Amino acid sequence: MAALVAKTRNSKQTKASKGDKSRQHIIEKSLEIFGRSGFEGASTRSIAAAAEANLGSIQYHFGGKEGLYIAAAEFVADRISADLKGPLSEARTKLHGSDVSRDEGFEILCSVLDRFCLRLIGRRESNIFARFIFREQMEESAAFDALYEGVMRDLVETCVELVRFLDLDGRDDSTIRMLTLTILGQIVLFESSRGVILKTLGEHKLSADHVSALQAMVRHNVEAILKV
């Protein structure tokens, strides 16, 4: 009897695992289509075909196209957050520690920016993720909310706190936030304008050397802006 129960449990776990893999595969394929065509332009039929899944599987796993769209946004947020959550938490812990020097605060900020640069530009799926994210910037939606609450808010607010700590000019909160977004924007530009960047550099893709060079340039710019 015990063996039968164990066999049944294992069978259920195997089915659940296959279901999870199928669900993730559909999400991954939908990101390419949503990023290229947007929510309105993407069809569940084209997504199912790309995922080599039957049309009913989208209804089964997500309840329809809108549910899949939200799930795709949450998937992107979770994947990016997995890379950034640790460094952001560590940055806040260090910043709130006792006797943090300005030089140490600068290094903490640069470590966060380095990780963001690597996550946004240096990962294999970066272009697919970025296309989806940038399309969502055009108008707020439930998918945008999932992205913002899932990863963007934590990144921006942590950087705002670090920039405020490093500021010597007594800038008000609005100016600190604009300055923080300008600093982050240096990195975002290299993904949002990837076509122009590649043409200008005469390259077909951004390499690890390009990512390292950008990290060094951002560091230099932040050092100059904040007079570190």
For 174-190, the pLDDT digits (tens) are 999 999 999 999 999 98
One-letter-per-residue 3-state SS of the chain:
CHHHHHHHHHHHHHHHHHHHHHHHHHHHHHHHHHHHHHHHHCCHHHHHHHHCCCHHHHHHHHCCHHHHHHHHHHHHHHHHHHHHHHHHHHHHHHHCCCCCCHHHHHHHHHHHHHHHHHHHHCCCCHHHHHHHHHHHCCCCCHHHHHHHHHHHHHHHHHHHHHHHHHCCCCCCHHHHHHHHHHHHHHHHHHHHCHHHHHHHHCCCCCCHHHHHHHHHHHHHHHHHHCCC
pLDDT over 90, % of the chain: 57
Is this structure's pTM higher than 0.85? Answer: no
- List the single range of 11-25, 61-75, 93-107, 114-128 with lowest mean pLDDT: 11-25
Which architecture does CATH list for 1-63?
A: Orthogonal Bundle (1.10)
Residue 3: predicted pLDDT: 55
Which architecture does CATH list for 73-225?
A: Orthogonal Bundle (1.10)
Sorted by where each begins, the domain ranges of the chain are: 1-63, 73-225
